[in-house]
Amino acid sequence: MIYQALALKLKTGGIKEYIRHHDQIPSKWPKLQSALKESGILSIRTFEANPTLLFLFAEVTDNNAFERLWNTEAHKEWAEVMEPLMELNEEKKPDAKFLTQIFEFKAK
């Protein structure tokens, strides 16, 4: 299993709506759930550093899982919903950056 993390930037005031949309994934986004699984994303946890900075932690089957997800129709629909809440980069995509792991501890 591979772990990946991303830093995501939200627009000011977007956190409540971000949470609301994500809370609806189990009930309103079955195609997105399938796309996540089929892309090799086993789990995702998102943490709030402050109201405009989030950290996403994922367990994936390989390093290309997110690339596969981002190319699905289900994710493209999801991205349209989320775009008004996210800070965008110069390519008009969410300002997200993969983070480099620098430490790991496992209890024995």
CATH number at residue 79: 3.30.70.100
pLDDT at 1: 87
| pLDDT, the chain, mean | 96
pLDDT at 89: 86
pLDDT at 12: 97
CA distance 32 to 39: 10
In a domain, residue 107? The reply is no
pLDDT above 90: residue 74: yes
Average pLDDT over residues 27-50: 98
Residue owning tokens 């349209």: 80
pLDDT at 93: 79
Taking CA 75 as the corner, what is the angle to CA 69 and CA 80, rounded to the nearest 5 degrees? 145
Reduced 3-state DSSP string for 1-70? CEEEEEEEEECCCCHHHHHHHHHCHHHHCHHHHHHHHHHCEEEEEEEEEECCEEEEEEEECCCCHHHHHH
Number of domains in the chain: 1
In a domain, residue 105? The reply is no
Taking CA 22 as the corner, what is the angle to CA 5 and CA 96, rounded to the nearest 5 degrees? 35
Domain that holds residue 55: 2-98
pLDDT at 18: 97
Average pLDDT over residues 53-57: 98
pLDDT at 70: 94
pLDDT at 98: 97
